[in-house]
Amino acid sequence: MKCCSQSWWHLIHYVYLTQLFIEEWGLLCTHLQRSTHLIRCILNVRRHELNPIDQVKPLSILHEIAEHYLRDGEDFAARFDLLWESQLHKTGRIKSFVDLLMASECTLKAHIALGQLEQDPQTVYRAIRKAGHQIAPLAEAATFLQDRTSYDELTRRLQIFSVFVRYSLEAYDTFFPFYVNWHEAKIDYSKTIGNNGWVLETRKILEPLQKTANDALIGWVTNDIGAIFEYERQMKEFMEANAK
């Protein structure tokens, strides 16, 4: 009788543990489903942040040129954002400002390429290179945006600057000339690079130009292997033709 009672006890205990396991397993599965759903939602949100219109990434020589210039500009802008506040001496600030100047130059070059996608890539690329580091001709040639406010404002603010002021000797000659009063300098330092508000306003003008160019260049890479190889061949020929 005692043995029978123990068997029943073990059976009841087993059933209880089994039921508890099933309940816990159900809760675990529910949590896993919710977690999976959450992860999918996060990935979908991130996916649409990166590529809000679900487009295939364009394959063309001018798109490639634009993207390289845009990423160069983003690198210069990121370095400016990181270092600007840490450069407290004049020549350090001037060098950091040149990063912002270069970021503006590269972004304008990207806008030129994106605004002339129907034109001959060699003609467009050579025109970009011919403009060099000059903001005014680059901004004038940029036609990607119909609203030219940002182009015109960058020209007004930056055309007077040369990237060569990154060297301290040229910087002093430009902003703090020898043997003459500084108010006779080619550029007034206190109203430009020495004015923190002015510099940060210039940085802010660049932001929408970077964003609109980036929006035109993002997309999912095509799975058409033939198209990719053809594109690579065209880029190789293009680079060889412009290396001469």
Residues 88 and 30 in one domain: no
Q: Which amino acid is at 234?
A: Q
Question: Which run of H or E residues covers position 110?
Answer: helix 90-115
Residues 6+ apart with CB under 8 A from 124: 62, 65, 112, 113, 116
Q: Same domain, yes or no, for 77 and 1?
A: no
Residue 56 neighbours by CB under 8 Å, 6+ apart? 219, 220, 221, 222
Residue 54 belongs to a domain: no
The per-residue DSSP string of 6-65 comes to HHHHHHHHHHHHHHHHHHHHHHHHHHHHHHHHHHHHHHHHHHHHH-TT-PBPP--HHHHH
- Is 116 domain-assigned? yes
Secondary structure (3-state) at 117: coil
Give 206-237 pLDDT, tens digit per residue: 999 999 999 999 888 888 888 888 988 998 99
34 and 67, same structural domain? no
Within a domain: 43 = no
Domain span including residue 21: 1-38
Domain-located, residue 56: no
128-146: average pLDDT: 93
99, 25: one domain: no
Total count of domains within the chain: 2
pLDDT attached to residue 219: 83
pTM of the predicted protein model = 0.75
Rounded CA gap, 34 and 40, in Å?
Answer: 10
